[in-house]
């Protein structure tokens, strides 16, 4: 299967596994990685730097209309929604929060699912609210691959459990299995 | 929520262009789609078809449509550091001569969050009566709403917090009255504001502007239209006039149109018109 992108959503308790994923991949990774993680709105910087410490691939906090490249990770900037356009570009939006979240994982996942259809891999990690459940469902409905971090392993279960309630996912994986899956791409 | 297909969206764009001469084909497709779905939900419509009909049969609805379609600023004093920079670095650097005939322009006002923030800042540094502010909107309904200054109380919490981080003179609540579930802003702040009804290419842009506040506006348009906007903004600025854009918007100064500007304070996304 020729995938076009991986999108990862997470909130409370997801930092370690995201770090681990980024540390396991190298710049030859064949896809762009979109990261939509809940973060403090008034803290502008520091997050990319913290994630970059152990990452082997470059991580960007994209500007509006930036073009996505393989082997790079794109972290949704604070206080913006990150939309994925058909032309492999990012569009940012300062629209209302959704589920008290901006960036909203649902909106990133839904726009990515519309842009990449069956060529998208969506992963929901540990988190403390229900954001991402509708987005992952959309990934599945459009024929993409859906993965949820095993709730028994997740630091905070609400987000993975809520995703599992909303959609029949392809895989419930531990962090080891998620990394292994990505390395095989 | 109803999800629109790409065919529906193209049809809506075509219909609006034919009926109202407003060209939305240069919008960011994802944002435009999301806003259209919001308009459909807000008007209790069931599908794209019913929106077509409403747009065709009710010409008066188009103004409301424009208001609902545009993304409002959801908070006052968004990015407090930008406002602090204006108060502490920008305005103090201007001498009496600069402040003569000082005009500020805010293109694309929808809810007035940026406009009221600016007015409060100017009031606190005793400049509100010395400057002229132009505020552009696509719709009369936006202008009416901004002038009325009514805003849901629940949404004001973020603004109150932002203002605290801005470290203004008082408490933001001193600039509004609480009325049940709403707040009513102090509309006397807008005494020196001139409202302009504009179109999507800013054809009614004012001239000789010293400062343009256009934060998070270009993000709703495609790169080609962003260039058109930047050209208009450039033409409306006076020599060395300043432009402030959103923190995650970018002017690529090595590009031909973008190169009409140079960076002044990149941390706060402040640029100035380049003299060539």
- The closest alpha carbon to A132, from A113, A97, A159, A164, belongs to A159
Q: Would residue A42 show up in a list of annotated catalytic residues for this protein?
A: no
The chain-wide mean pLDDT, for chain A, equals 95
Give the model's pLDDT for residue B254.
76
Q: Structural domains in chain B?
A: 6-69 (no CATH), 80-273 (3.40.50.150)
Give the model's pLDDT for residue B108.
94
Whether the Cβ atoms of residue A75 and residue A59 lie closer than 8 Å to each other: yes
pLDDT at residue A1 above 70?
Answer: no
Give the model's pLDDT for residue B131.
96
Q: Which of A42, A64, A85 sits opposite B218 (nearest CB)?
A: A64
pTM over 0.90: yes
B71 to chain A: which residues are within 8 Å by CB?
A: 93-95
B5 to chain A: which residues are within 8 Å by CB?
A: none
Q: Would residue A81 show up in a list of annotated catalytic residues for this protein?
A: no
Question: Model confidence over A115-147: pLDDT tens digits?
Answer: 999 999 999 999 999 999 999 999 999 999 999
Answer yes or no: do A91 and B31 touch at CB < 8 A. Answer: yes
SS3 B205: coil
- Ranges of each domain in chain A: 5-183
CATH of A5-183, one of 1.10.1200.10, 3.40.50.10190, 3.40.50.1820, 3.40.50.180: 3.40.50.180
CB atoms within 10 A of CB B166: 23
B247 to chain A: which residues are within 8 Å by CB?
A: 44, 77
Largest CA distance in chain A: 40
Helices assigned H by DSSP within A4-148: 15-24, 47-52, 105-116, 133-141
- End-to-end C-alpha distance for chain A, whole angstroms: 9
Distance CA A156, CA A38 (A): 13
Percent of chain A with pLDDT over 90: 92
Question: Model confidence over A56-90: pLDDT tens digits?
Answer: 999 999 999 999 999 999 999 999 999 999 989 99
0.90 surpassed by complex ipTM: yes
Give the model's pLDDT for residue B240.
87
Answer yes or no: do B31 and A107 touch at CB < 8 A. Answer: no
Reported as type and span, the H/E element at residue B9 is helix B6-20
Largest CA distance in chain B: 57
CB atoms within 10 A of CB A46: 11
Give the model's pLDDT for residue B235.
96
Distance CA B209, CA B187 (A): 23
Question: Model confidence over A99-117: pLDDT tens digits?
Answer: 899 999 999 999 999 999 9
Answer yes or no: do B219 and A93 touch at CB < 8 A. Answer: yes
- The closest alpha carbon to B250, from A91, A87, A96, A57, belongs to A91
CB atoms within 10 A of CB B24: 21
A43, A47, A64, A74: best to mutate for the B interface, most B CBs within 10 A: A64
Question: 């069956």: which residue's tokens?
Answer: A118
- Which residues lie across from A145 on neighbouring strands? A121
Whether the Cβ atoms of residue A84 and residue A107 lie closer than 8 Å to each other: no
Question: Model confidence over A145-157: pLDDT tens digits?
Answer: 999 999 999 999 9
Give the model's pLDDT for residue B259.
86
Full pLDDT tens readout for chain B, 276 residues: 789 999 999 999 999 999 999 999 999 999 999 999 999 999 999 899 999 999 999 999 999 999 999 999 999 999 999 999 999 999 999 998 889 999 999 999 999 999 999 999 999 999 999 999 999 999 999 999 999 999 999 889 999 999 999 999 999 999 999 999 999 999 999 999 999 999 999 999 999 999 999 999 999 999 999 999 999 999 999 998 999 999 999 998 778 888 899 999 999 999 999 877
């Amino acid at each position: 299967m020729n995938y076009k992108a991986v999108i990862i959503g997470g909130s409370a308790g997801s930092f370690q596994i995201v770090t681990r994923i980024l540390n396991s991949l190298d710049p030859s990774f064949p896809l762009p990685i979109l990261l939509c993680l809940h973060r403090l709105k008034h803290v502008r910087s520091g997050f990319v730097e913290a994630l970059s410490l152990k990452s082997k691939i470059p991580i960007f906090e994209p500007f509006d209309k930036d073009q996505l490249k393989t082997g790079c990770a794109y972290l949704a900037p604070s206080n913006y929604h990150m939309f994925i356009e058909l032309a492999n570009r990012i569009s940012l939006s300062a629209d209302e929060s959704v589920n008290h979240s901006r960036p909203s994982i649902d909106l990133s996942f839904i726009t990515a699912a519309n842009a990449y259809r069956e060529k998208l891999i969506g992963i929901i990690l540990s988190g403390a609210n229900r954001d991402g459940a509708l987005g992952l469902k959309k990934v599945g409905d459009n024929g993409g691959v859906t993965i949820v971090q095993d709730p028994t392993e997740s630091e905070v279960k609400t987000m993975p459990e809520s995703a599992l309630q909303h959609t029949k996912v392809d895989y419930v994986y531990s962090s080891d299995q998620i990394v292994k899956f990505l390395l095989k791409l | 929520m109803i999800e629109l297909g790409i065919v529906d969206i193209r049809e809506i764009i075509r219909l609006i262009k034919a009926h109202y001469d407003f060209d939305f084909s240069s919008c960011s497709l994802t944002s435009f789609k999301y806003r259209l779905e919001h308009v459909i939900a807000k008007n209790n419509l069931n599908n794209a078809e019913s929106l077509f009909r409403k747009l065709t049969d009710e010409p008066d609805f188009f103004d409301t449509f424009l208001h609902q379609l545009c993304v409002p600023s959801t908070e006052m004093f968004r990015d407090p550091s930008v406002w602090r920079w204006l108060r502490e670095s920008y305005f103090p650097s201007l001498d009496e001569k600069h402040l003569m005939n000082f005009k500020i322009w805010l293109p694309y006002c929808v809810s007035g969050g940026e406009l009221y923030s600016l007015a409060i800042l100017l009031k606190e540094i005793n400049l509100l009566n010395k400057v002229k502010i132009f505020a552009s909107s696509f719709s009369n309904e936006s202008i009416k709403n901004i002038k009325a200054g009514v805003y849901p109380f629940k949404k004001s919490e973020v603004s109150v917090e932002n203002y605290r981080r801005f470290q203004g003179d008082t408490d933001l609540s001193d600039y509004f009255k609480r009325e049940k579930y709403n707040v009513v802003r102090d509309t006397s702040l807008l005494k020196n504001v001139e409202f302009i009804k504009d179109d999507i290419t800013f054809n009614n842009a004012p001239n000789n502007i010293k400062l343009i506040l256009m934060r998070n506006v270009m993000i709703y348009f495609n790169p080609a239209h962003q260039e058109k906007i930047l050209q208009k903004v450039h033409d409306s600025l006076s020599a060395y006039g300043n432009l402030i854009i959103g923190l995650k918007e970018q002017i690529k100064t090595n590009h031909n149109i973008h190169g009409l500007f140079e960076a002044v304070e990149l941390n706060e996304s402040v640029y100035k018109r380049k003299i060539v």
